[in-house]
A = this chain, B = another copy of it.
Amino acid sequence: MTENTLINHMKTYLALSEEESSEILTFFDYQSYKKKETLLFAGKQCGRLFFVTKGCLQLYFINDLGNNKTIQFAIENWWLTDFIAFQNQKLSNFNIAAVENSKVLSISFSNFQELLSKFPKLEKYFRLIYETAYGAALMRLKYSYSLSKEEIFFRFREDFPDFVQRVPQYLLASFLGLTPEYLSEIKRK
């Protein structure tokens, strides 16, 4: 039961009874996506928040030159959406697609509000998730200002060794702001 991935993740932050766990899951939809399948389209209503139970998603946009620019990856136990658009129920600034075959729980905006009002203790869970994500985004900005492209890759590989193995190299290059050619040159070293 990959749905249990979410409950187990929540339980690392707070206590949940069997009954609560079952009820929490009723707020979510569960879906499998094929590699390269799109879950959220830029320019369309951003109605859902996604939680990866298996696989990998990417948040990206297409720039003026038609290139795919990856802003964020999400692997198991990560949440992903266009958070600003989701919070304000606006059109998404990003696409989300499956990087590999993935299993995903998702929740609509209205269900998310209802879930939190029914289980206020989940506010703490999401507060901690977002606190970490925001802090990590600030660190990422620091790296982008202070490290060379090569150092960014080595630090990334140190922090997320499995990730570097799993993600297609052209996506990893896009995420790190490298050309695929330059990335394979660094890796050869």
Contacts and interface: CB of A to CB of B under 8 A. Distances in A.
Interface in A103-141: 116, 120-121, 123-124, 126-128, 130-141
A131 B126 contact: yes
Given A69-B145, A71-B138, A142-B61, A84 B130 contact: no
Interface in A78-93: 82-87, 93
Q: For the complex formed by this chain, how many copies does it contain in all?
A: 2
Nearest to A81: B135
Interface residues of A, number: 40
A59 B138 CA distance: 10
A2 interface: no
Contacts of A142: 61, 69, 71, 93-94
A81 to B, nearest CB: 9
Given A83-B134, A137-B137, 10 more contacts: A61-B146, A69-B146, A84-B132, A85-B135, A87-B135, A93-B142, A94-B138, A124-B127, A130-B130, A134-B134
